[in-house]
Amino acid sequence: MPAASLLQLVSVVALDACFAAIVGTLSARIWLRGSSSSPHHGDVVRSLR
């Protein structure tokens, strides 16, 4: 039983890491694209301050 639970733990951690990597790359890509091509980026930064 410990081997099965260890395998389950490893698979959950691997899935979590993959999901975090996918979300991180997607959000970074969206943020980079928005900050580089959006004309309102400066206005957004000024309004946030």
Q: How high is the mean pLDDT of the chain?
A: 82
Q: Which of 7, 31, 9, 11 is nearest to 19 (CA)?
A: 11
Percent of the chain with pLDDT over 70: 67
pLDDT digits (tens, 9 = 90+) for 12-31: 999 999 999 999 999 999 88
The band of 46, judged by pLDDT with boundaries at 50, 70 and 90, is low
Q: Which of 1-10, 18-27, 32-41 has the lowest mean pLDDT?
A: 32-41
Question: Sign of dihedral through CA atoms 11, 17, 21, 23?
Answer: positive
